[in-house]
Structure 1
Amino acid sequence: MVVIEQGKGFPVAVLKKNVPVFYAVPAAAYEALIDKLDDMELAQIVHEREGQPSRVITLDEL
């Protein structure tokens, strides 16, 4: 935990023979990363649907 605390909120690489074997990522940084990935996925969907005709639907149709 000392090494994680020294990371001051940033991810910390854990090395084995000078090769990263995993990263310890603080919860806040991980959540921000997941939010960003979700936003990127939604932006891709919007981009793919640009120019498609729209239509009005009722709640019953959902």
Structure 2
Amino acid sequence: MVYRILTNTVASITELKKNPMGTMANAEGEAVAILNHNEPAFYCVPPELFAYFQELLEDAELNDIVDKRKHNAKFVKVDINEL
């Protein structure tokens, strides 16, 4: 099976166990794909990148809420000159 690696940096589980902080330092703030028997097992993500992903997820969830409410909304036409 062919796996798509979604990062520029990879490391084996053995490398990660030997030097976890060094493994992440080499990634320079990016995610690291951790390989087990040459297959991606998981990704290590630095805190700043994880926080960014959380913000993206929250934004997507809020957009879904807006889209759902927009379909049931009652709009009122307003003339800006009347305000």
TM range (shorter): 0.7 to 0.9
> Pairwise mapping of residues 39-50 of structure 1 onto structure 2 (< 5 A)?
39-50=59-70
Secondary structure of the corresponding residue to residue 40 of structure 2: strand
**Per-residue Cα deviation, 1:1-44 (whole angstroms, up to 9, x for no partner):** 21110000000011011111111100000000001000000001
Instruction: Give the corresponding residue for 1:52.
Output: 72
Note the aligned Cα RMSD (angstroms). 1.2
Work out which structure has the larger RCO, using CA pairs closer than 8 Å and 6 or more positions apart in sequence. Answer: 2
Q: What is the alpha-carbon distance in structure 2 between the residues aligned to residue 34 and residue 51 of structure 1? A: 26
Q: What is the alpha-carbon distance in structure 2 between the residues aligned to residue 15 and residue 36 of structure 1? A: 26
Residue correspondences, number: 54
Identical columns (%): 33
Unaligned runs of 5+ in 2: 1-20, 75-83
Normalising by structure 2, report the TM-score: 0.60
Instruction: Give the corresponding residue for 1:38.
Output: 58
Instruction: Give the corresponding residue for 1:16.
Output: 36
Report which of the two structures shows the higher radius of gyration computed on alpha carbons: 2
Unaligned runs of 5+ in 1: 55-62
